[in-house]
Amino acid sequence: MTTVCCTHAWSEMALVHTHDRFDQWALLILGDDPDKQREAVHQLCSVLEENTSPPVDSVLRSGIVERLIDFLKSQEETDLQLHVTSILANLATCTPEQVQVVIDANAIPPLLNLARTSPVLEVRESCFFALGNFLSRAKLAVQARVLEGGIVMSLVEGLEMALGNTSISAHAREAMLCTGAQVARSLLNGKKDTTPLPWGQIRPLIPILCKCVLAVKDNSEALQPALSTLFAAASRNVTFTVKTVVNSGLVPRIVKLLLHPQETIQLHALHVLADVASGTDKQSQTVFDAGVLPALKKLLGTMDRDKMTAKVVEDACFLASNLTAGTTNQIQQVLDAGMIPVLLCVLALSEHAKAQREACIAAVNISHAKSAQPQQIQYVIDCGVIPVLIQVIGSCKDKELASEAENALETFRTWNVRMNGQPESGQMPGLVGGVEVQRSDTNFGEAGASSQGPSPLARLLYSPDELLQISSTCVTPTPPNSVELRPTKVKVPHALVLEEAHDLAQARLQVACIDAEAAQETLRVARAKADMAQVAAQKAQSVAEMALAAVCKAQTEADMAEVALLTARAEADMARAKVSAMHAQKRLEQVQGARQKRTAVVESPMENTHNKRARWDS
* pLDDT value for 204: 93
The stretch 533-538 carries a mean pLDDT of 86
Mean pLDDT check: name the lowest of 150-164, 236-250, 455-469, 481-495. Answer: 481-495
* More confident call, 491 vs 110: 110
Highest mean pLDDT among 73-87, 205-219, 461-475, 536-550: 205-219
Q: Is the confidence at residue 4, as pLDDT, over 50?
A: no
Label residue 503 by pLDDT band (50, 70, 90): low
User: In the 8-state DSSP scheme, what is residue 611?
Assistant: G
The residues facing 454 across adjacent strands are 449
3-state secondary structure of 327: coil
Q: Is the pLDDT of residue 349 over 60?
A: yes
Task: Tell me whether residue 35 is in a domain.
Answer: yes
* Cα–Cα dist 136/138, whole Å: 6
In a domain, 200, yes or no: no
User: How many whole angstroms separate alpha carbon 90 and alpha carbon 83?
Assistant: 11
Own/partner long-range contacts of 546-549 (Cβ < 8 Å, ≥24 apart) = none
The phi and psi torsions of 338 (rounded to 5 degrees) equal 75, 30
CA contacts within 13 A on the Cβ side of 404: 22
pLDDT value at 479 more than 70 = no
pLDDT tens per residue, range 145-162: 888 888 999 999 999 999
pLDDT top residue among 332 and 18: 332
Q: What is the mean pLDDT of residues 419-439?
A: 42
Tens digits of residue pLDDT in 233-290: 998 899 999 999 999 999 999 999 999 999 899 999 999 999 999 999 999 999 999 9
C-alpha pair distances (Å), 23 with each of 58, 89, 314: 9, 22, 58
**Cβ–Cβ under 8 Å, residues 11 and 43:** no
How big, in percent rounded to 5, are the helix, strand and coil portions of the chain?
75, 0, 25
pLDDT at 414: 82
Question: What is residue 559's predicted lDDT score, i.e. its pLDDT?
Answer: 85
Q: For residue 436, report the phi and psi dihedrals to the nearest 5 degrees.
A: -120, 115
Say whether pLDDT at 492 is over 50. Answer: no
What is the distance between the alpha carbons of residues 190 and 136, in angstroms, rounded to a whole number?
Answer: 8
pLDDT at 458: 36
Q: How confident is the model at residue 15, as a pLDDT?
A: 34
Tell me if 80 is assigned to some domain.
Answer: yes
Q: What is the pTM of this model?
A: 0.66
Is there a domain that residue 135 lies in? yes
Q: How confident is the model at residue 301 (pLDDT cuts 50, 70, 90)?
A: confident
Domain-embedded: residue 119: yes
Q: What is the pLDDT of residue 205?
A: 93
How many whole angstroms separate alpha carbon 318 and alpha carbon 340? Answer: 14
How many residues would you count in the chain? Answer: 618
Span of 171-180, 375-384, 487-496 with lowest mean pLDDT: 487-496
Does any domain span residue 553? no
More confident residue, 350 or 55: 350
Report the relative pairing of strands 449-450 and 453-454 from DSSP bridges.
Answer: antiparallel
DSSP-derived letter for residue 609 is G
Identity of residue 529: K
Amino acid 156: pLDDT: 93
| Domain that includes residue 92, residue range | 10-149
Q: What are the E-state strand segments in 444-543?
A: 449-450, 453-454
Q: What is the pLDDT of residue 206?
A: 94
| pLDDT of the residue at 372 | 83
pLDDT of residue 279: 92
- Rounded mean pLDDT, 447-457: 36
The rounded mean pLDDT for the chain is 77
pLDDT of residue 139: 72
Q: Domain for residue 89, yes or no?
A: yes
The values of phi and psi at residue 450, to 5°, are: -120, -165
**Helix H or strand E segment including 100:** helix 96-104
Select the highest-mean-pLDDT range: 116-125, 243-252, 371-380, 422-431. Answer: 243-252
Residue 613's pLDDT is what? Answer: 45
Q: What is the CATH number of the domain that holds 36?
A: 1.25.10.10
Per DSSP, the residues of 253-270 read: HHHHGGG-SSHHHHHHHH
- Asked, for residue 602, whether it belongs to a domain, the answer is no
Look at residue 463 and tell me whether its pLDDT is greater than 50: no
Under the phi-then-psi rule, with left for phi > 0, alpha for psi from -120 to 50, and beta for the rest, what region is 63?
left
More confident residue, 22 or 285: 285
Task: Tally the domains of the chain.
Answer: 1
Q: Report which of residues 176 and 61 the model is more confident about.
A: 176
